Amino acid sequence: MSSTPLSSTRRTSLGRLKERAATDRAALHEILDAGRICHLGVVIDGSPRVVPTGYGHSGDTLYLHGSTGASSLLAGPSQEICVTVTHVDGLVLARSLFHHSVNYRSAMIYGTPRRLTDPDEKLTGLRAITERLVPGQWDVARPPNPKELAATTVLALSLEEASVKVRQGPPGDDEEDYALDLWAGVLPVREVFGDPVPDPRLRPGIPAPAHVTSMVGPTAVPSEAAGQA
Amino acid sequence: MSSTPLSSTRRTSLGRLKERAATDRAALHEILDAGRICHLGVVIDGSPRVVPTGYGHSGDTLYLHGSTGASSLLAGPSQEICVTVTHVDGLVLARSLFHHSVNYRSAMIYGTPRRLTDPDEKLTGLRAITERLVPGQWDVARPPNPKELAATTVLALSLEEASVKVRQGPPGDDEEDYALDLWAGVLPVREVFGDPVPDPRLRPGIPAPAHVTSMVGPTAVPSEAAGQA
């Protein structure tokens, strides 16, 4: 994991709450490593559109994919996009309503993506996206055939211009409010995988593989996210 | 809950996979009722920006808030925004990599927000946002004072132009792939609240209130989200 400082273009330098900007490239990769879904922002006819979609990353490149007919991806190659990955770690209950907040980790990546045309490079991107969703699936599932590959748009976006915002720890109340007779603290939030549900058309005698069953249970969450300062 | 059909402007009429578009306004409200965080898309200097933030809704209005200095909110009142709320319900593992997918519920709302100036209307919006985060907090925490209220931007966005996309159920493989000797199914995903973590500065003898402790455990997830067709 690299420790190169993040970019500091105007929009990736936070205008406020600078203490929440972790200017470490390692933090960017940690956030991407912990997620499966991003929110892709594009501009269509001058207006913003925000679409949830899967992503993958490898080295300094983030990959997105979709149908060749997806308007959100068609808009991408000709112009800038913004990709945001967010983890909600806790609800922050302060004594004052004003200081209620959310503990979260968020990464935003800006850039003009490149539409991949080389089949090998497209497969590299699709592998990264699949392995982000369920590590281990790429090597067991039936690979894309040429027709499926042709029907899939894969975009590559440099991770160069990015920003990271993190809020962790207990509420930060106004000094006089600490005397109030009110509970305050953090309600931790985490993502949990339930037991795998077999496809109703699954052939008999095929158990869920270990790389799937091993995901069941709570996903990792940084200890400081639970509210410890 | 209303059952008015959703809008059908060009961008809210899906260009593909129309079967995933639930054209029922009730579905929009169900998705908003189940979330706490949205992704707000704005256009700044011609480029998209996607920011995670809290939201609330009441009737046909969605509310957003932030510091008066937040550039993402400052961009809003003069131009269109897009607000997307997404729930990930399951990872869909197909026999072919091509048909891997995600079970999700997503709502997108478009419009030009109105910046609230009337203090009572701002309080209505802030109450909706707080009660979405942790129901019950508005009535117990210390209310905003005039200075705090003045330092908070509250935007109101009509829910009129919206679209809903839902994908649920088992994988949809190509017919010939069902004969493969591969596991397929859905790995359910849900959000879970852990035990409340008291603020280190909490005064002794103040227990977490019932409206907080009652949130601990798995949040509701529609039964069909687990992969049942």
Kindly tell me if the per-residue pLDDT of A4 is higher than 60.
no
Kindly tell me if the per-residue pLDDT of A190 is higher than 50.
yes
- By CB atoms closer than 10 A (0-12, 13-18, 19+), residue B25 is buried
Q: With bands split at pLDDT 50, 70 and 90, how would you rate the model's confidence at B68?
A: confident
Decide if A96 touches B, using CB distance below 8 A: yes
- d(CA A153, CA A4) in angstroms, rounded, equals 30
**pLDDT by residue (tens digit) across B117-136?**
999 999 999 999 999 999 99
Query: Which residues of chain B have a CB within 8 Å of the CB of A227?
Result: 197, 199
Kindly tell me if the per-residue pLDDT of A227 is higher than 70.
no
**How would CATH label the architecture of B10-226?**
Roll (2.30)
**pLDDT by residue (tens digit) across A41-65?**
999 988 999 999 999 999 999 999 9
Are A50 and B84 in contact by the 8 Å Cβ rule? The answer is: yes
Nearest CA in chain A to B126: A97
- d(CA B53, CA B31) in angstroms, rounded, equals 16
Alpha helices for B8-156 (secondary structure H): 25-33, 71-75, 119-133, 146-150
pLDDT the model gives residue A15: 55
- As a whole number, mean pLDDT of residues A16-45 equals 83
Decide if A179 touches B, using CB distance below 8 A: yes
Sequence ranges of the domains in chain B: 10-226
Query: Which residues of chain B have a CB within 8 Å of the CB of A86?
Result: 37, 39, 52
Nearest CA in chain B to A105: B52
Decide if A23 touches B, using CB distance below 8 A: no
**pLDDT by residue (tens digit) across B146-175?**
999 999 999 999 999 999 999 999 999 999
Average pLDDT, chain B: 88
Kindly tell me if the per-residue pLDDT of A32 is higher than 60.
yes
Query: Which residues of chain B have a CB within 8 Å of the CB of A217?
Result: none
Three-class DSSP category at B181:
coil
